[in-house]
Amino acid sequence: MSRLNPRQQEAVHYISGPLLVLAGAGSGKTSVITRKIAYLIQECGIAARHIFAVTFTNKAAREMKERVSSLLKKGEGKGLTVSTFHNLGLNIIRREHQALGYKPGFSIFDDSDVKGLLSDIMQKEYAGDDGVEEVKSMISNWKNDLVLPEQALEKARNPREQTAAIIYIHYQRTLKAYNAVDFDDLILQPVNLFQNNPDILEKWRNRIRYMLVDEYQDTNASQYLLVKLLVKDRAQFTVVGDDDQSIYAWRGARPENLMQLKDDFPSLKVVMLEQNYRSTSRILKCANVLIANNPHVFTKQLWSEMGHGDEIRVIRCRSEDAEAETVALEILTTHLRTQRPYSDFAILYRGNHQAKLMELKLQVHKIPYRLTGGTSFFGRQEVKDIMSYFRLLINPDDDNAFLRVINVPRREIGSATLEKLGNYASQRGISMFAACDEVGLQEVLDKRFTERLTRFKHYMEKVRQRCAQDDPIQSIREMVLDIDYENWIRQNSSSDKAADFRIGNIEFLVDALKNTIERDEEGATSFEDAVAKLVLRDMLERQEEEEDGADGVQMMTLHASKGLEFPVVYIMGVEEEILPHRSSIEADTIEEERRLAYVGITRAKQRLIMTYATKRKQYGEVINCTHSRFLDELPHEDLQWEGQDDAPVEVKAARGNDALANIRAMLKK
C-alpha cells in the first residue's frame, strides 16, 4: 500500500497534540506509524534520537524498524528507538540501575526461573509447592497493577491472598539479593523509579520528544502509567489501537486504557481508520455485525474495495473426528484443484488441545503444516540448563547462569543459602561465583554450605581450564557425564521416552556448539566466541525466520493469529463452551470472546469457513454440543450452512468415499 488514504494522511500529519488512532483490522496501521516517524524526522525536524516507538513483540518492532529504514535516507534514523515495552523498561533499568539498587549486569528471570524460585521458597516455608502457578499468576497481576509486596499484604482479603502476599515479599527480597529482575519488573521498576525520582523522570522526558505506541488496547495498568509519565507534560504522542481486538484481559490488558486517555488528555484528537486493505466486503460485514453486539465508546465500520466475495461457509459435522477430516480433505482437494500453496490456508482454534486431532488428519493425508505456539528448542528446560553451564564457563560473573545451575542436578543449596550468598556478593561488589570460596562468607553461612559452594566453584574452574587447554567439546561431554545430568533428567521426566528425547536435545546442543566452533569462515572460533554466538542468537527470531520460508498449512490459536492474515481461513470448534469458552460463560465475560471471534474472522482475506461438531468426546464420554451463539449473531443472508441434513450414515460414508475417489483421480492426472 504505497499511497495513504485521507484518514491515514490526517493521522500522519497531526502533530500539534495528543492523538489516538483507532485502527480497524487490516487498515494499514503499521504504515501510519512508520510514515509518521519518517514525517517527524524529515518534515518536522525532530532528531531520530528523540523519537521512541513502542510495540509488544520483537517481530513487530523489527518489521517497524525495517519499514522506517526504507523511508529514510542514510544516517537520518541514527539513534531512533523502536522497541518492545519490556525492552524500553530494560534500557531504563540498565541506565538507572544504581538509583534502583542493582549492580550492573543484573539478570532477568524467565518463566521457568521464576517458577523454580517460588517453588523453592514455598517448599522451605510452607512444606510444599502446591499452587505455585496460582501464586506466580497473583504476583504477576500485582506487579502489572503496580502493587508492591507490602501493599499486597495490606490489601489481602482472605488467607489465600495473605499467603501469596507473604511469598511475594520473600520472593522480591530474594530476587534483589540475586541482583535479578523478572519480566514484570521491567515495567514496574521504571514506573516506581519515575514516581519517586522527579529529576530522573525529567531527564527521560527531555530525551523523549515524541512517542508512538502500537497495539495500545493491549497495555496493562503499569504500561499505561509508564507512557503517561513519559509524555505527561509535552503531550506529544500518537497511540494506535483497536478496542475490538483487545483479547488479552487474562494477561492484564485493559481496553479501557483507550477511554482513559480522553480523561487524562482532554485535548486528545481521535482519527478512525476504517478502510480495510485485507478482506472482502462480505467478511467485513460479518465482522462488523458480530462486534456491534459489544458496547462501544467509539463506533467504527470497516469497509473495503476488495469486492463482495464468497459467502461465509458454516459446516456442521457429526463429531470432532469428522470435523478434522472435513477440514483436511477440503484443503487437500482445493490445493490439488487450484494449485493454491498450502501456506495460503490457516486453521484457527480456541485452545491448543484442539490441534492434536487436526495434526493427525493432516499427517494421514500427507499435508505439510506448521504449528505455531510450540516450545522453541532453546526454550526447553534441559537446553537452558546446559546453556547456563556454558555461559558460566565463559563468564563466571553471570549470576543468572550461576543461579540456574547451582542446584541442577541437586547439590542441596537452597534459596536461603543463595539469598545470603547474593547479599554477601552485593556488599563485596563481586559476582556470586567469585564469592563462593571467600573466607568472609564463612561468617554468614554454615560450614557445610560454604564447602558445597567451594567444591562447585573449584570443579567449574577445572572444566574451564580443560576447555582452554584441551578439546573443549570433549571437556563439555565429560562435564555432562561428571555432573550425572542424564540421571537427573531420568528422575525428572514423565517417561523413559520423554527422557530419551530430552537427552537427545543435549547431544544436539553439544553438536551445535561443535559446528559453531568448526564452521566459522575465518578459521576456527574459540570456545568462548562459539558459546557467545549461541547465547546471542535470538532463538524465537531464528525460529520465525526458519518458519517463514516453509510451505505448509498454518495452525494456531485465535490469540496467536492476531496481526496475521491468510487467503483462506478455517475456524474450528465454533461451539458453545469452546468459543465462547465455558469459563467466560460462567464469569459473564462474553465480550472478550466475541472480540476473539472478530479477530479470527478478520484474518481471512478471501474465504472464511467455520466448523462445529454436534458431538465431542470429553473425559472418555461423548457429549452433545450446540453451535456458538456467535453464529446466530452473524448476518444470515451472508452465510451458507452445510451438513444440516440428517442423511443416513451409509449415504454420508458413500459421499466421503466419492470425495476420496475424486482426489485419487486428480492425483493420477
- The catalytic residues are 29-30, 214-215, 245, 603
Are 555 and 372 in contact by the 8 Å Cβ rule? The answer is yes
Give the strands of the sheet with 210-213, arranged side by side. Answer: 81-84, 51-55, 210-213, 237-241, 19-23, 269-273
Strands (E) located in 468-603: 553-557, 566-571
Pick from 174, 65, 62, 169: nearest CA to 116: 174
Sign of the four-CA dihedral 228, 231, 236, 240: negative
* Look-up of cell digits 521426566: 493
d(CA 38, CA 50): 13
Tell me the longest C-alpha to C-alpha distance in the chain: 84
Are 400 and 108 in contact by the 8 Å Cβ rule? The answer is yes
Grid cell digits, residue 62: 523489527
Grid cell digits, residue 341: 500453496
- β-pair type (303-304, 312-317): unpaired
Instruction: Give burial (CB, 10 Å; 0-12/13-18/19+) of 254.
Output: buried
Grid cell digits, residue 225: 502509567
d(CA 345, CA 329): 13
- β-pair type (621-624, 615-618): antiparallel
Strands (E) located in 127-229: 180-182, 210-213
The one-letter code for the residue type at 470 is D
Concatenated DSSP letters for 484-520? THHHHHHHTSSSHHHHHHHHHHHHHHHHHHHHHHHH-
